[in-house]
Amino acid sequence: MTDIEYLKKLRSPTKGNPLRVLMSACLSGITCGWDSTANGEYPSALKILQYDTVKVVTFCPEEFSYGTPREMSDIHGGTGFDVLEGKAKVLSESGKDWTEGMIKASEKMLEIAKDGDIEIAVLMDISAACGSQVIYDGNRFSENKVYQIGAGVAAAQLLRNGFKVISQRDYASLEILYSKIDPTHQIDTNKIDHHENKWYKEYFKTYKHTTL
């Protein structure tokens, strides 16, 4: 089932029984980014916080294991799924092996998702922890940085345990989500998800998108 199909089948929440959403803490405005910022402002995610038909639980995997501020980290040798299977590593920008801490953080995020009976996760894309569409392939600070299709470690942990994950850049999916939590919301059919935008298609020319 695609993300869009899943979102369309979500129940219509109420104030008394709100939709349970797990969100990357930085997307909610919490200053837990590597440099003690919120990694910018993302109106597409902040919009969710405006509704009383939603219960948002926030979590930052990297802050959980490494605190704030901290070094940047990226996955080397694969994706988040590969890290969980012992086939790839998470390294800080200075080369420290953060694999174990990232896996522990992903397990904590999964625990939170299960305890909260989460119905959808909205996570920060490109992050080595929370990315769901695109992540870096190796160090983002290298002279020739490379992107790859794939999920970060925490997002992969959620996905392989049956949770649906979308990013703050999946605008078409978010439109469906808005319509679920706000019956008056008129869906903008011109919005597209991240894998449908021009940059993605041009960068990954030979890649055919499928649901992770």
Is pLDDT above 80 for 135?
Answer: yes
Average pLDDT over residues 99-122: 98
SS3 75: strand
Residue 142 confidence class, pLDDT cut points 50, 70, 90: confident
Mean of per-residue pLDDT scores for the chain: 95
| pTM of the predicted protein model | 0.94
Residue 207 confidence class, pLDDT cut points 50, 70, 90: low
Stretch among 20-34, 44-58, 83-97, 130-144 having the lowest mean pLDDT: 130-144
SS3 128: coil
Average pLDDT over residues 179-201: 96
Determine the pLDDT at residue 212.
46
Q: Where are the domains positioned within the chain? A: 3-203
Determine the pLDDT at residue 143.
80
Q: What does the alpha-carbon distance between residue 40 and residue 45 come to, in Å, rounded to a whole number? A: 12
Query: Pseudo-torsion of CA 35, 31, 182, 120, nearest 10°?
Result: 70
Residue 206 confidence class, pLDDT cut points 50, 70, 90: low
Average pLDDT over residues 28-47: 95
